Amino acid sequence: MGVMFEVVIPIFAIILCGFLAERLSLLPAGGTSSLNYFVYYFALPALLFFSLSTAPVSQIANFNFIMINLIIALSGFILTVLIFLLVFKKKFPDLSMYGMITSYGNTGFLGIPLLIAAFGQEAAIPAALATFIYDIVIITIVIASFEVAKSLMNKQGEKVNVVPMFASIAKSVLLNPINASLLLGIMVAVLQIPIPESVYVFTEVLGPAAGPTALFALGLGLASERSVFKNKEYHVSELITLLFLKLIFLPILAICLVYFAFPLDDELWATSIIILSALPTGALVYVFADKYNSLVKQVPLYVLISTLVSIITISIFLIVLV
């Protein structure tokens, strides 16, 4: 019960503050977007760069940690695709969007802030590395799926040019602010590139704002998305399946991998994997749904409901693990 008061309640109290701020109209319209942009483009990249650039190379090159995250990401994606292909009779390339709903968690705006709030600044390193792995694997598969589908629909028999497809993948995966800061931080750490002290002071001061701001913005977003529940473009059986795979199956798989298949010496890193695997569907999924016109009406509901349910499931995993 002590863990509940020391870790879980304070974290979700920040989310509740954001929720109440929106319901009581304490912030102007557009406050959620402004806070999210601040986190995405400034605070979180600063935090991730500082954490990784100052981390020992041995931590960054943790083989077991990398393998566990790869297995979790691919297992969640592939299992979801198979279920929705064989049971719900969905078609390619929409199948990849269902896979993304299950396997791509809200690491940037919930996972990293939550772990830092629960376990301190040192939790940013495993959280950042896991985020990078998920981005590379899941985003690459989704983009490739829709680009291949687009090529297959070419009725004029033109030769498929793979260069634009790989260019699109590279741009989406490597050039967004979060992954760019991760790559830069890893490069500085591995190559031991000297960085001016003023840069470290800047990132050390700005970075800690990412956690509470992201959690507060999450509460704002939950309160402002009540109209999503009026959406009827979904099937309950599909929703329940996605929730089970995302919030229950993946963290249980993570527990099995962490404690039996690829044991980790550092308990914080082990706990980080489990909590990150238990995260709700990330908001970035809607960006891809909109870009490729796939499940556009369903994804916002799936993101919102998985976030609400995860408040309970993540709390349980935190209480059990801490």
Q: Which amino acid is at 192?
A: Q
Helix axes 9-23, 31-38, angle to 10 degrees: 140
pLDDT for the residue 225: 66
Q: What count of Cα atoms within 13 Å lies in the side-chain half-sphere of residue 268?
A: 13
Contacts of residue 199, defined as CB under 8 A and 6 or more positions apart, other chains included, come to none
| The pLDDT of residue 114 | 84
Give the angle 34-36-38 at the CA atoms, nearest 5°: 70
What is the token pair recorded at 110? 């919930």
Instruction: Tell me what pLDDT residue 154 has.
Output: 60
What are the Cα distances from residue 304, in Å, to 39, 106, 181, 241, 249? Answer: 19, 11, 28, 15, 19
User: pLDDT tens across 259-286, in order?
Assistant: 998 988 889 999 999 999 999 998 778 7
For residue range 40-52, what is the model confidence (pLDDT) as tens digits? 889 888 888 888 8
Helix H or strand E segment including 173:
helix 162-174
> What is each CA distance from 61 to 30, 73, 88, in whole angstroms?
40, 18, 40
Q: What is the mean pLDDT of the chain?
A: 83
Query: Using CB atoms within 10 A of its CB, is residue 47 exposed (0-12), middle (13-18) or buried (19+)?
Result: buried
CB 297 within 8 A of CB 108: no
Query: Which pLDDT score, from 0 to 100, does residue 274 have?
Result: 94
78-92, 196-210, 305-319: which is most confident: 78-92
Tell me yes or no: is domain 2-321 CATH 1.20.1530: yes
Q: Tally Cβ neighbours within 10 Å of residue 73.
A: 25
8 Å CB contact between 18 and 12: no
- Sequence ranges of the domains in the chain: 2-321
pLDDT of 152 strictly over 80: no
CA distance linking residue 280 with residue 32, whole number of Å = 18
| Cβ atoms 131, 182 nearer than 8 A | yes
Higher pLDDT, 254 or 190: 254
Quick one: which H or E segment has residue 184?
helix 177-191
